[in-house]
Chain A
């Protein structure tokens, strides 16, 4: 990434330091954003390799490559790494790069803490990954780590897992505090909250979600630690504890967590679609309110992950109705995106392709989510591949596609060079086909009765599992093309203009490409009343 800076000849004295220490000691939001993004990409490939181990084993019935113990370690680590290592840090990286540039701030409000919150992560994930080499193997109880499988019956490495989760939580909380403080205090003079770009809005709300729920996660893993090492029995029925309590506490964290992984994506797509439709975002105000409503609802629907734990009917009905309500603000967002495209003057560069695919495929995931909310039907769907298909539709062509879209959209601003459009489009189509071939058949496998987290399966599921595995390999390997495109763009290419995209609006497009090491040292004059 150092090429970014070296290409830029400015007269400022405050250039970056040279060498490795620049990255270790940096408090610059752009450097830290870059670190986050590269880290998350490495984790994305790591977690992706684990997914490919899973799909390779499931290519055919029978056990060919791995034993069930290792298979369970792969599903667990894949989930943990993708959630905590790939998607979340990628969004934090984007926030670091973009929030100050979008609100006209010189940097994040708390730069040193920013450095700490990134540098915790490599330690956290080294610790987590090291469990693969421990006696008894890595955590094997699923990324949801339900007790007592994760306590009384867990491998010894569970303690390392707990401390890794603690570190990730500390990192996330510090990062979120930074985002909140930056947005609330460092906006350019005259920029009201309702003038902020939606990416800033969605991140502000996401940061509050993180601050609210990461301590809950820390609490639940600490209770596990106590159960395992200090003789408490929070989750042990034998000691008067309650295994279902674990699930309530976990999902009180877990449901807001899934919105943490999608709200910033809403912000990204709300930036990209107007640019390439050459038309203002439709219904800005309602987009903000919808985001806030989704965030609020995310706190009161957690037990819809637990319809089969034997709640009384009143509980089941409440969580069903509350969950169905989420469809309303989510629908509002989708309709607003469609209305933004309507009567626009669209072009389909790579970021737009990813953004449009996001809207369509995320909506498919949303609709299957609505189906899952219907309790009696959920009894049939629960813990089958239908659920796997659902959450991968909202996470892969949802969150991940939005991150890809963001990378292509802002890469020219970051590097000063245009990426290779032909390669970008190739990457998009490979990913699009790969993702759908992988996950669409999983709806069928699930409805036909294949449970998730199975290393082997009955013969009637063989055909679609094979199709799904082929898709996974297409999707997985096409991400190497993405790596190549990004490196190629950093190394050189057609010079980007300051505006980069014809229809782009926002403060980040008013500064030079590549963005200078320090931007907005003096606050910008807002061109118009509304930045939205």
Chain B
């Protein structure tokens, strides 16, 4: 009698198990629906490669979900049915060579099914044919520098791209706007439907340049130049992030790429080249203290503030204070030198590569005369320029 009851119980359990499995299947199909929700899944992106990667991702994801549902289904079934409380007697089998072979060999075929498309996608990504535009991407603590390479050095356009989100938003003093932590002052601009090659390197620690919409992620490593490329098909603004821990402001050096029509790109590039020329001219003129201080404050906020802080106090010992001590109130030549050449073995970068002579002159002057430093002296851009030229 008891035996019969337990069988009945097992029958009910079987039904429950079946319902569970149906529920699981429903869940797995709703997974597919969820997968289209951009907040939950990988982006399809805007290049042929990124779509290939997305399809590959969905393929392996689906295979994994199916495997998971099958294996967990068997386990859950077993847990619902093969219970002591239902009077289920344990079986005595403990091995099966056939089964072991089966679940060794079948997965190998599934893996081959994944490896084939993965290999072909990877080969497409590694296609190294020539590029229409070469852009050097250089990581700095904590900003990116973009250089549009050209055979004619005077035609080279070079600029720094750093976070635009103000500290007030980060520290919750003002409301966070759209594109919080995802906006930069100078986005990278590229034309659509052109093969753009990114030559990625770093000036200090390892960074990683990632634009999800292009399926491009490459580490920026000092001493190495790595290559990645994209042919963007749709105009738009594409946002990315640094993905290798690079110190304090790792989370605060976003990437913004603006893809535009060729004509717009051409006029933008011409404008940038013109700007570079103008900078060249300003170096020659004699600047007043007020001009230097005004420019210097802006440059400081953009290039120096994240380490030495807005009040100049720094974060010792890694980032020393500039107030009332050290080079900022010492001899001006040494002060210019450290800004131009950096300091080996420390986070202090050689800013000659990032700032133009006028900006360096302005920021040095600013540091010597801000926060009560009041040294009173100034340095002219042409002197800085002479120093940099003499070193080259």
> Nearest-CB distance from A463 to chain B (Å)?
8
> Nearest-CB distance from B246 to chain A (Å)?
7
Given A335-B71, A360-B75, the answer on whether A460 and B221 have CB atoms closer than 8 Å is: no
Given A282-B93, A380-B212, the answer on whether A149 and B247 have CB atoms closer than 8 Å is: yes
User: What is the chain A residue whose CB lies nearest that of B306?
Assistant: A68
Which residues on A sit within 8 Å (CB–CB) of B114?
A: 324, 370, 374
Q: Is the CB of A364 within 8 A of B68?
A: yes
Q: Is the CB of B251 within 8 A of A277?
A: no
Given A335-B71, A359-B75, the answer on whether A309 and B61 have CB atoms closer than 8 Å is: no
At the interface, yes or no: B24 with Cβ under 8 Å from chain A? no
Within 8 A of A (CB), among B81-97: 82-85, 88-96
CB-defined A-B contacts under 8 Å, sample of 5: A153-B347, A241-B223, A341-B82, A380-B217, A449-B43
At the interface, yes or no: A141 with Cβ under 8 Å from chain B? yes
For A148, give its contact among B64, B121, B205 (CB under 8 Å). Answer: B205
Bound together, the chains give a CA A327 to CA B111 distance in angstroms of: 8
Within 8 A of B (CB), among A281-331: 281-286, 308-310, 313, 316-317, 320-321, 324-325, 327-328, 331
Q: Is the CB of A69 within 8 A of B248?
A: yes
Question: What class of interface size applies to chain B in its complex with A?
Answer: 35 or more
User: What is the chain B residue whose CB lies nearest that of A274?
Assistant: B94
Q: Which of B173-181, B265-273, B370-378 contacts A (4 or more CB under 8 A)?
A: B173-181
Interface membership of chain B positions 137-167, coded 1 if the CB is closer than 8 angstroms to chain A and 0 otherwise = 0000100000000000000000000000000
At the interface, yes or no: B226 with Cβ under 8 Å from chain A? yes
Which residues on B sit within 8 Å (CB–CB) of A285?
A: 95
For A345, give its contact among B61, B83, B221 (CB under 8 Å). Answer: B83
Q: Is the CB of B93 within 8 A of A379?
A: no
At the interface, yes or no: B107 with Cβ under 8 Å from chain A? yes
Q: Which of B122-130, B188-196, B293-301 contacts A (4 or more CB under 8 A)?
A: B122-130
For A448, give its contact among B41, B169, B242 (CB under 8 Å). Answer: B41
Given A347-B84, A456-B170, the answer on whether A279 and B91 have CB atoms closer than 8 Å is: yes
Q: Is the CB of A339 within 8 A of B91?
A: no
Within 8 A of A (CB), among B59-114: 60-61, 64, 67-68, 71-72, 74-75, 78-79, 82-85, 88-96, 99-100, 103-104, 107-108, 111, 114
Q: Which residues of B contact A (CB under 8 A)?
A: 38-43, 52-53, 56-57, 60-61, 64, 67-68, 71-72, 74-75, 78-79, 82-85, 88-96, 99-100, 103-104, 107-108, 111, 114-115, 118-119, 121-123, 125-126, 141, 169-172, 176, 178-182, 204-206, 208, 210, 212, 215-219, 221-224, 226-227, 241-252, 315-318, 344-347
Given A345-B90, A360-B75, the answer on whether A313 and B126 have CB atoms closer than 8 Å is: yes
Q: Is the CB of B217 within 8 A of A308?
A: yes
Which residues on A sit within 8 Å (CB–CB) of B182?
A: 458
For B75, give its contact among A356, A367, A459 (CB under 8 Å). Answer: A356
Bound together, the chains give a CA A284 to CA B95 distance in angstroms of: 8
Given A244-B221, A279-B91, A310-B221, the answer on whether A379 and B215 have CB atoms closer than 8 Å is: yes
Q: Is the CB of B224 within 8 A of A328?
A: no
Q: Is the CB of B38 within 8 A of A448?
A: yes
Q: Which residues of A contact B (CB under 8 A)?
A: 61-64, 68-69, 72, 135-136, 140-142, 146, 148-149, 152-153, 155-156, 237-238, 241-244, 277-286, 308-310, 313, 316-317, 320-321, 324-325, 327-328, 331-332, 334-335, 338-339, 341-348, 356, 359-360, 363-364, 367-368, 370-371, 374-377, 379-380, 382-384, 444, 447-449, 451-460, 463-464
The 4 closest A-B pairs by CB, nearest first: A237-B223, A343-B91, A454-B251, A310-B226
For B64, give its contact among A368, A375, A458, A459 (CB under 8 Å). Answer: A368
Q: Is the CB of A379 within 8 A of B53?
A: yes
Known: A72-B247, A279-B90; 12 extra A-B contacts, CB below 8 A, are A63-B171, A146-B205, A148-B206, A317-B122, A324-B114, A338-B74, A342-B78, A348-B79, A356-B75, A375-B118, A376-B121, A379-B125
Given A316-B122, A444-B39, the answer on whether A69 and B315 have CB atoms closer than 8 Å is: yes
Q: Is the CB of A453 within 8 A of B83?
A: no
Q: Is the CB of B244 within 8 A of A383?
A: yes
> Nearest-CB distance from A71 to chain B (Å)?
9
For A283, give its contact among B39, B100, B242 (CB under 8 Å). Answer: B100
Q: Is the CB of B100 within 8 A of A279?
A: no
Which residues on B sit within 8 Å (CB–CB) of A156?
A: 317
Which residues on B sit within 8 Å (CB–CB) of A316?
A: 122
Bound together, the chains give a CA A449 to CA B205 distance in angstroms of: 22
Which residues on A sit within 8 Å (CB–CB) of B90?
A: 277-279, 343-345
Bound together, the chains give a CA A520 to CA B322 distance in angstroms of: 70
Bound together, the chains give a CA A367 to CA B226 distance in angstroms of: 30
> Nearest-CB distance from B25 to chain A (Å)?
17
User: What is the chain B residue whose CB lies nearest that of A449?
Assistant: B212
Which residues on A sit within 8 Å (CB–CB) of B243?
A: 308, 382-384, 451-452
For A367, give its contact among B64, B95, B121, B344 (CB under 8 Å). Answer: B64
Which residues on B sit within 8 Å (CB–CB) of A313?
A: 122-123, 126
User: What is the chain B residue whose CB lies nearest that of A69?
Assistant: B248
Given A237-B222, A363-B71, the answer on whether A371 and B345 have CB atoms closer than 8 Å is: no
